[in-house]
Each structure stands twice: as structure tokens, then as C-alpha cells.
Chain A
Amino acid sequence: MNLKVITRNIGIALLLNALFMYISAIVSAIYDFDASFSPLLLSAIITSVVGGFPLIFVTKSYDINIREGFIIVVFAWIIACLFGMLPYVLYGGEFSIINSWFESVSGYTTTGATTLTNIEDVPKGLLFWRSSTHWLGGLGVVVFMLLVLPSASSFRMRLSKMEISSLSKDNFRFKINQTIRVISSVYLGLTIAQTILLNIAGMDFFDAINHAFSTVSTGGFSTKNLSIMQFDSFPIELIMMIFMVLAGVHFGLLYSVIAGKPGNLFRSPIVRFYLLSLLVGGIIISLNIWITGTTSGLIASLRQGFFQVISIGTTTGFATADSSVWPAFSILILIYFSFQCACSGSTTGGLKADRVYIFFLSVRAQLRKHIHPNAVVSIKLNEHSLERDVVYSVNLFIALYITVVFVATMLLTLMGVNMEDSLTSSVACMGNVGPGFGSIGSLGNYFHFPTLAKLLLSIEMLFGRLEIYSIMLVFLIFRWR
């Protein structure tokens, strides 16, 4: 294992983080050198010095093997989270050490769960840094690294396999160089477009860019205590909904739409399944909250129902209503969406619509097999028969995912967290959704959780973001042959 290349690449990832810390310090300077200026500047200096140090010695770029690739990806995330918490720790206030770590991990993993009880009290520079961690995490520290590193294609392939769900590559056969270009251009394009539209819809520029960062990365950090509810504007909600849905689609498909092939979007069975599930979920929840009198009027029900379904179903986590007080039926549907989430190849977390779709196909195939025991039943996705291994690994992943959620829930109850909070926080953090239900609902926060619970949930966020296996493999790295 070449430790030189590992330290060099992690150093480059840190330098990119430092760049955004400097930008946040500039934002702080624009807002009359608010209280976050010196924490951000100092963090930027420390991060850039530590990140740049390995480059003094490791001047050459090397090709890397799969083992190094795993270590770089996992450690780049963890170290980025560690250095990303520096501005919070230095600022103090509500940010204790554990709260800073939780906020940093939640930012980078695009979870959007917060420990802040009064977001609007936080200086603008720090709020910008908070949204930047979403943006950086969404695009992926590793993808950033690939953009700045003139490395071999094999290197890129290995890293991206970890960063982008491998299922997306089965569906859409992009070359890896092209994939990185596509992701970055779509990502940047969506961010700029949303910022402009939100600004036109009445949000001030600072809020618009922060919310665009959070939406495109499907994070969910807001600059307001009441999240999107604060704005009480239908145009803003509509823009947010459109961009949340778009951010949940495979970026390669979005690129093909931009490139003049909009038909590709609806030809994908995964996208059809994803959009249809959001539509059905939205209608059912809207009707449920309308009939039970939770909201006043059908229009308000549709507005709130669809927003919440899209927000949870894309793992974003913004809110226009406190869904914790909704009927149990609606809450359970939202919990289902916290598991399913959106398409692979996007920045969303969770099981991914792809896996859930394949799971349903495999259940159907199994039923057919029971009816016709001698029949050869294949599982087809987009005219292609799926290999047994793919179906097996998908179902195994789902089982593993649910096991991790269950174990974390049990551990949380052991720490004194109540049943509802334990289950929904575990689901929300594993799926990188952010808000759960109960005290950690869309308008709540994780401030009151015990320290160990926050630590456990932050580990769960990392597990969810790196799709479980990557972290587990790093622990077994020295046993590889």
C-alpha cells in the first residue's frame, strides 16, 4: 500500500475544503466581519497548511490500486469532516465539540440534520460554510479531487466506483472521465439556475445561494429556523420542489436532457418508478391530511403534502409544515420514502430507487417462479436481463441496510432516546435525509440527544453516504489478498 499517494490525495481534498473556508471568510467579511470571520480564516489557514504539507514531499502523482482507492475515499470523508468542524469549534456558542462534529458530518454527508436551536443567530459566514459543506459533500470530495488531479483513467474509475453507486453505471454506460465532467457541469448548472430563480422569486441572494447549495446536494440545511415555511411563498416552494426532484435524478440523464435528448429521461424505468412513487405518495398524503383536517383546504394539503414527500423522498429534508403532527398513516409513508429515496447517480442517500425497483422486480419474479416452477424467469431492467449476482447483491444490501438501521435504533433506545425518536432518527441519518419525526421532526433538532447518540448517528450518516460496504472494507483492508 502506497501511503504517499494516500496522504497526497487526502491533502488535495483538504485544500479544496480550505478554499471554501476562505470563500466563507470572504462572505463573513462582506457582512461586516461578523463573529465567524476569525474562526473561518483560522480554520482555512490550518486546513490549507495541513493539506498542503504532503505536497511538499509527494510531488509526483501515482497510479493507485483498489485498496488505496478505498482508503482515500473513506479517510478523505472522515478527515474532511474533522477539519470541517474547525470553524464551528472555534466559533463556540451552541457548537460544543460533539455538536460541531455532528453538524460537520451532517453537512458533508448531505444529511441536513442539525443540533442548532436558533439557526438565525449563527453568523452569515458560518451559515455559508454550513451550506458549503453540503455542496462539497454532494459533489463528493473525491469527484473534486478527480477534477484537479491529472491522473490516470484507472485511478478515476476505482475512486468513482466508491463515490457513485455502481448501479448507475450499469444503467447508463458513461465513460468515467465523461461522468465526472457531466456531474460537475450539471451540478454547477443546477446551482446557478436555482440561485437565480430563487432570487427572482423573492429570496435575497444570500438565502438563495445557501438554499441552492442545500437543494442541489439534497442536503437540507436552511438559513431559517422554520426552513422553507419561513418564506411562505408558493413560487419559492415550487422552485424548490422542481430542483429537489431534478437533484434526485441521475446526473447523466439530466445532462442528456440538457444536451437535447429529453426523451432519455422517461425511457429510464428507474426514473419512471421514482417519479411515479413521488406522485402517488404526494397524492395519498395530501388526501390523508386533507380528509383528517390536519390542513385547511385541498390546495394547502396538496402544497404541503407534495413538498414533504419530495423533500423526504429526495433526502433533502426541507420543510413547509411540521409533519410530526400529521396522521400516523402519512408519517409511515414518509418513513417509507426515507428508505427508498431517489435514483443512484444523484447525490441522494438511502437505499436508492434503483435497488427498491430491482427488489420489487425480484419479488415478482419469485412469485412467478412459484406459480410456474419449471419456467425460466429473468429479471429485466430496460430490456436487459439482470445477472443473478446483481439481484443478489441488491437484496443483500437492502437486508444489510435494514440491519444497520435496526441495530442503531436499539442502541439509541439503550441510550435513553424514546422509541419514535430512535427509529426515525436512525432511518433519517442512515438515509441522509436529516429530519425524522417526534422531537427531531422537520422543525425540530438533535440538540437534546445524548452525546453518544450523536456520535452513533454521525457514524450512521457516514455508513449511509459511503453505502456501508466501503467503511466495512476499510476495517478489513489489511486482510485483503
Chain B
Amino acid sequence: MGIRKKISMGFVVIGSILFLSSVIAVFEFSRMRSSVTELMTANINSINTSRMLMELTDEYNFILMSRVIIDSSITSAEILYDDRFDSYIANIKGNFSSENEIAIADSLALSYSKYLSVISNSRGIMSAGIEERKEWYENDLKPVFTDLRKYKKELGLITQTALALNTNKLQEGYYRSIMPGIIAVGAGIVLVLLFNYFINIYFISPILLISRGIKNYRDFRKSYSVQIDNDDEIEELNVEVKTIVEENKKLKSIK
């Protein structure tokens, strides 16, 4: 292989590694960006859903309280039968992937509909006596509300766990996005060092040897005996120099 080809190939390889590392960096960082966006969206959705569920339940509790205190005339159909809760539940289920998470979302939906059903009877209960109201509170309202709270709490815990997992994923994603770049750059540095080493031993050192050999011959009449173990033009150059030196010797002896 000739010098030109060797050096060109060396540069091509180093260039390829640099190109590869930049491609990897661009690819990994764009993947990181999209995964961060996805994670952030999922996290915001989860937080919003939990918050809205909390607000909704408070709203219903407030209605119930108003009925008890001021015997409000607002009908349950006006507030209780909207589709907000159903859309929240659908939203949660859309974000969940494991069977356990979906089961909790279903349990929450079920406990919510039971709660609604109990609440819808509250108007009739208000006109009943204290004992009957106590019984209704203990046996009907309290269990369904406890269930609803329990599943809301579980859902909150799941959301928090998901947040922690997402944080871990984010850290792992960051690690995975940065490592290929570092390794490719490291490999690039190794190649540059190797290239420098090979240029030194294959091209610079032989040229210096030839130059010193010629100088020694010219200045001190030392015989030219440089040995070069290459398989390229440098070796050819050395052979040519040897021939010229021999011819020069012959010419001098003729004179």
C-alpha cells in the first residue's frame, strides 16, 4: 500500500469515527429530548389527574354539606352527572400500562359510581329522623366514601411511584445518551494517537534516517547503510538513495 493511500485511509478512519460520534450525539440527544418531553407530559398528566380527582371529590362533599346545612335545592343531576370523572378515569387508564394500575383505576371508577348512587339518595335522607340518618351515614355513606378515599390514595401512590420511576428512567436515559459520545470520542483519541505513532515510525523516522545517512556519507564519507522495513515509497526512496550513493562512489573512484 502506498503512502498516499495509507495516510488517506488513516484520515478517513479518524474522520469516520468523529462523524459517527457526532451522529450518535445528535441521535441520542434528540432521543433524549423526545423522551424527556414524553416523560414530562406523562408526569403533568398524572399530577393533573390526581389534583382534579381531589377537587371533584371536594366539590361533591361540599354539595353534600350544603344539603345538610342549608337544605340546598340544587338537584343531583345538575352537578353529579357530568362526564368529568369518566374522562379523568379514561385519561388515567390511557397512561397506565400494568394490570395492577388499570385494576385500581377500575376500582376507583366503581367506588365513585357507588358513592354517586349513595349521594343521590341524600335528599330523601335529610327529611328522615336522626337515627335513620345516623344509620345511613354509618352503613351507606361512610363505607363508600372510605373506599373512594382508599382508591384515590392508592392512585396517588401509583402516580408517585411512576414519578420516581420516570426520574430513574430520565437518569438512565441521560447516561445512555452521553456514554456513546464519550466512548466514540475516546476511540477517536486512541486513533489519533495511533495515527501519530504510525506516521512517526513509518514516515518521519525513515526520512530522518535517510537524511542522516546521506549527510554522514557526504560529510564523513561513511557508507550508506540505512535499512528501512516498509513496503511503500519510503522503501523505494531508500533503495534509490542507495543506488545514487553507489553511483556517486563509483564516479568519485573514476575521478
Contact = CB atoms under 8 A, between A and B. Distances in A.
Pairing of A with B: yes
Interface of A: 3-4, 7, 38, 42, 45-46, 49-50, 52-54, 56-60, 86, 89-93
Interface in B97-140: none
B96 to A, nearest CB: 22
B7 to A, nearest CB: 9
Given A42-B24, A89-B183, A57 B190 contact: no
B6 A56 contact: yes
A42 B172 contact: no
Nearest to B191: A53
7 A-B pairs closest in CB distance:
A57-B198, A46-B187, A56-B9, A92-B175, A92-B176, A90-B179, A53-B194
Contact of B187 (A50, A54, A56, A57): A50
Contact of B194 (A7, A38, A91, A93): A7
Contacts of B20: 45
Contacts of B190: 50
B17 interface: yes
Interface string B1-12: 100001001100
Contacts of A46: 17, 183-184, 187
Q: Is the interface of B mostly helix, strand, loop or mixed?
A: helix
Interface string B149-190: 000000000000000000000001001100110011001001
A90 B183 contact: yes
A49 B187 contact: yes
B16 interface: yes
B59 interface: no
Contacts of A60: 229, 231
A271 B187 CA distance: 46
B13 interface: yes
B13 A53 contact: yes
A92 B231 contact: no
A42 B180 contact: yes
Contacts of B24: 42
Nearest to B24: A42
Contact of B172 (A7, A45, A86, A92): A92
A4 B175 CA distance: 37
Contact of A4 (B10, B187, B201): B201
A54 B194 contact: yes
Contacts of A56: 1, 6, 9-10, 13, 198
Interface in B57-79: none
Contacts of B194: 7, 50, 53-54
B202 A93 contact: no
Nearest to B202: A57
Interface string B21-35: 000100000000000
Nearest to B10: A56
Given A89-B179, A92-B175, A50 B191 contact: yes
Given A53-B10, A92-B176, 5 more contacts: A49-B17, A50-B190, A54-B194, A56-B9, A59-B231
30 contacts: A3-B201, A7-B194, A42-B24, A42-B180, A42-B183, A42-B184, A45-B20, A49-B13, A49-B17, A49-B191, A50-B190, A52-B13, A53-B191, A53-B194, A53-B195, A54-B194, A54-B198, A56-B1, A56-B6, A56-B13, A56-B198, A57-B6, A57-B198, A59-B1, A60-B231, A86-B183, A89-B183, A90-B179, A92-B172, A92-B179
Given A49-B13, A57-B6, A90 B180 contact: yes
A224 to B, nearest CB: 24
A48 to B, nearest CB: 11
| Residue of A3, A50, A59, A93 with most partner-chain B CB within 10 A | A50
